[in-house]
Amino acid sequence: MTSSFRRILGAAIVGALLTGCFGAAAVRPDEAAAAARSFVEHLALNQPDEAWEMLGLTTREAAYGGDASQFASEVDDADWSRVRWEIDREPRSLDTGWAVFVTVEGGSSAIPDFVIGREIAQPWTSADGEGAVTDHGVVLTLQRSAIGVWSVVGPGLDS
């Protein structure tokens, strides 16, 4: 390897690392909300292939053993007609991505069981000063790759 080739290769690697490190910081909350909205719309419109493509690889493996047909079956069998949802709150930046809050009429119990049962999303609740708990809906965790591809990841998982 010539020294000029090594310099070019080194500059390319440094550029890729900087893009990966600083690219995530440049993400705006509305981009995370739009990605979450797209994922939920794919579910609601019974488009399991498109929703599957948005699941992070680790989440696919943890939830379904990598079997897209199992996910498609659960999406197909769900009654999405009763799910009324809205993203009406700004996403919160996390160390590993974004938390997007999805308000669901009827709370998290209105979401088909597999979404929370397979840890694709988490229930979103809050308690007031008196200890009364309100179930708002679900929280989706999203990550964006260095090349701009969004993934929905389960709690504590990476794409």
Question: What pLDDT does 23 receive?
Answer: 44
Instruction: Report the percent of the chain where pLDDT is more than 70.
Output: 81
Class at the top of the CATH hierarchy for domain 28-153: alpha beta
Find, among 33, 44, 35, 155, the residue nearest to 105 by Cα.
44
CA angle 24, 16, 36 (to 5 degrees): 30
**What's the pLDDT tens digit per position in 38-64?**
999 999 999 999 999 999 999 999 999
Where residue 153 falls (left for φ over 0; alpha for ψ -120 to 50; beta otherwise) is beta
For the chain, the residue count is: 159
What is the residue extent of each domain of the chain?
28-153
For the whole model, what pTM was predicted? 0.78
Residue of 111, 107, 39 lying closest to 82 (CA atoms): 111
Q: Which residues contact 50 (CB under 8 A, 6 or more apart)?
A: 42
Q: In the predicted model, is pLDDT for residue 73 greater than 80?
A: yes
Average pLDDT over residues 125-153: 89
Decide: 40 and 78 in contact? Cβ < 8 Å.
no
pLDDT at 19: 41
